[in-house]
Chain A
Amino acid sequence: MSEKAGGPTGLAFERFRVKDREEWLMRLGRPHAPAILFIPPLFEEMNRTRALIVAVMNRLARRGHCCWLPDLSGTGESERDLGDVTWRDWRHDVTFAAAHITEQSKYPLVASLRSGALVDDEAKARGWWRFAPQDGSSVARDMARSGLAGGVAWAGYAPSDDLKAALVAAKPAAVKRLRTVRLSTDPGEADAKIEGPALWRRSEPGNSAELADALAADLQRWSGECVGF
């Protein structure tokens, strides 16, 4: 560790090319350190987990990793409208973000949260790590249900019909060198269960140092096991 603990960890924003367009990647950590590409949850949970993802990235950057987080098409700083984005676009975003990172160092480890796991399997990576992955049908049900109790369906998001249809059919795909982590309150199958709050369920975005610590520690171990692929 060449940087002071708690000090700046090499924050940078880079453009990356996806076929005929460009999107943004945020980087935390030194460029040639072992790379981890984070894929956030889709739609509303993306906002609710942003602080958690950055907290995990910070911890890993301080421990000698280079962490990357893309703005998927139609989200964040992307110049596109969500209504024009297709499911393939999101899958391409992940694949091309991984390729951009590989040009600078080596294959990244892909770390997906929740529904991010639905678009992460085509990237060329040294391994995969998924936190609380879910089926697309569950995401779609959740978003449609936000209209049940007097709210707006899809929580005001206006995805294309293509995006909705593909989401409903999507399931996390099998990949090599995969580690799946879930919360202890989640009955689903996992390689490890950890304690912490389900932040993606909160109506107000929150954070948890306890959860960020546990995720960063697990991810660091798994990254170590995926070196050399």
Chain B
Amino acid sequence: MAAAPNDSLKVEATLRAVLADVLGLEPSRVAQFREDSPLFGALPEFDSMAVAGLLTELEERLGILIEDHEVDADMMETFGALLTFARNKALT
């Protein structure tokens, strides 16, 4: 896939943009998410279809493939956990 983000900050920016797009949140609100900000189970917008959209959109924009068995509530529990997952996938 063309133009795969290749550093940590780009992955973080992509993740924030995907969260804003998928959950329909204001980018200014998503910009305030910190490592320990709770996501799945804490945001009403984050339903099961949003999980599907989040994963597929991350795959497309980061040029990665996410297997179903890698997906659980823990990796989406906080912004930090999701960021760590995305970085591991995109950068290693």
Contact = CB atoms under 8 A, between A and B. Distances in A.
B21 A143 contact: no
A20 interface: no
A5 interface: no
Interface residues of B, number: 30
Interface string B4-30: 100000000000010011111000000
Interface of A: 44, 138, 141-143, 145-152, 155, 185-189, 197-198, 201-204, 206
Nearest to B14: A185
Among A147, A155, A202, A203, chain B packs the most CB atoms within 10 A around the CB of A203
A203 B24 contact: yes
A181 B78 CA distance: 34
Interface string B62-86: 0100001001010010000000000
Interface of B: 1-4, 17, 20-24, 40, 45, 47-57, 60-61, 63, 68, 71, 73, 76
Contacts of A187: 1-4, 60-61, 63
Contacts of B68: 145, 148
A210 to B, nearest CB: 14
Most B Cβ at <10 Å: residue of A44, A147, A187, A206: A187
Contact of B61 (A44, A185, A206): A185
B52 A143 contact: yes
Q: Which label, helix, strand, loop or mixed, suits the secondary structure of the B interface?
A: helix
Contacts of B22: 198, 201-203
Contacts of B51: 145-146, 148-149, 151
A142 B21 contact: no
B81 to A, nearest CB: 14
Contacts of A198: 21-22, 57
Contact of B50 (A147, A186, A197, A203): A203
B2 A151 contact: no
B47 A185 contact: no
Given A142-B56, A151-B49, A187-B63, A206 B2 contact: no
A89 B52 CA distance: 27
B60 A203 contact: no
A148 B73 CA distance: 10
